[in-house]
Amino acid sequence: MNKSSMIAAAALILVGANSHADSYISVGAFQSEFAGSEFDREYKSDVNNIQQLKFGYKDRKLAEFFGGATFDEDNKVRDYLLSIALDDTIIHLERGKISGDIVSDNGQDLGEFDNDFIRFNILDNKLDAEGFSIGVGFQRYAVPHLFEYNDGTTQGPMLQDDELTFTSIGLGFFYDPIYNFLRSDEMTSKTDWYFATSGLAISLAQAKASDAEPLKQRGVEEQTWYLWGNSATYELGLFYGMKNQHLRFTANIGYHIRANTFFNIDPSEAFAMEAERNDILLDSHQTILHGLTAAVSLVF
C-alpha cells in the first residue's frame, strides 16, 4: 500500500470515529496473474500489484477527495477496485492490466501482451436471508490467443493474436461475508475464515480479434464471434473483525481466482472440428486470473 493510501485510510478512521453516518470504506491490494498456455507456447504473466478502494459515501465530495488521493497519476498504480455503496444499490468498478510475455516451449521469446481489464457491477443492496445479492455485471478485457488458420492442410499455421477482446454482460449473484459482517447488528470481535464468491451465471459476450500482423497477413483480422457462458470469482481467506458502537472494522488476507468461460453461440461453430477454408474459428475460450488479496474495511 503506497503512502497516499495510508494517509487516506488513517484519515478515514479519524472521520469514522467522529461520524454517525452510514458510510463504508475498504482499502487494500491484490495480485493478479493471467494463467494460460497454448500449443507450443506459454503466456508468462506479470504479477500486477493491484490497489483496491471500495467506498460508499452519501457525501460525494468525500468520495472524490479520497478517491483522488489514492490513485496515482504517474501510472505506477496500474489497477484499482472502486465500490460505491448507495441506499438501494452497490456499484463496483474494477480496472486492471493483463500483461506479460509470450514464450515458446524451448524458451524463445515470441512477443508480449499488455491489455486492459474493466468490470462494472450494479448490485441490489438488499441481501437475502443467506447474505446473497443479485446484480448485473459488465466486462471488457483482452487476452492473447493462438488461432489455427485452415489452409487446407492437416495442420494449418498458427496465428498469434496478442489482443483478443471480450465484451460481456451478465446477470448473477454476489456473496461477500465481510461486507455482510460489517452491516450486521452483531457487536463482537472475532477471527474467522471467509469464502466470498460471485457468479454471472447468464452472460452474453462478443469476442473480437485484433489487427495483429499474423492475422492481417492472412486477411482474417478483426473478426467477431458471439458467445454465451458465465463469469465466476472465488476468494478464500482469513479475516479479523471488530464491532462496537463507534466503529466497525475488518482486516482480511486471502487468495482469489477469477474464471470467465464462454462458448460460441452458433452451434455450427461451437461443435466444428476446424474453421472453414482460409479462415479462423473461436469455438470457446476461458480466461483465468488469480493471486493474493488483502484489505482493511470500515463501516461508520
- C-alpha 98/C-alpha 48 separation (Å) is 8
Q: What is the pLDDT of residue 10?
A: 42
- C-alpha 203/C-alpha 251 separation (Å) is 32
Q: What is the pLDDT of residue 65?
A: 53
Count of beta carbons in the 10 Å neighbourhood of residue 157: 13
Count of beta carbons in the 10 Å neighbourhood of residue 269: 18
Q: What is the pLDDT of residue 82?
A: 58
Residue 197 bridge partners (DSSP): 175, 234
Q: What is the pLDDT of residue 150?
A: 96
From first to last of its 300 residues, the chain has per-residue pLDDT tens of: 444 444 344 444 433 433 334 677 777 777 778 988 998 999 999 987 666 666 655 554 554 454 443 434 443 434 555 565 655 677 777 877 899 999 999 989 999 999 988 888 888 877 787 889 999 999 999 999 999 999 999 889 999 999 999 999 999 999 999 989 988 888 899 999 999 999 998 999 999 999 999 999 999 999 999 999 999 999 999 999 999 888 899 999 999 999 999 999 999 999 999 999 999 999 999 999 998 999 999 887
Q: What is the pLDDT of residue 279?
A: 97
User: What is the pTM assigned to this prediction?
Assistant: 0.83
Q: What is the pLDDT of residue 48?
A: 77
Residue 171 bridge partners (DSSP): 136, 202
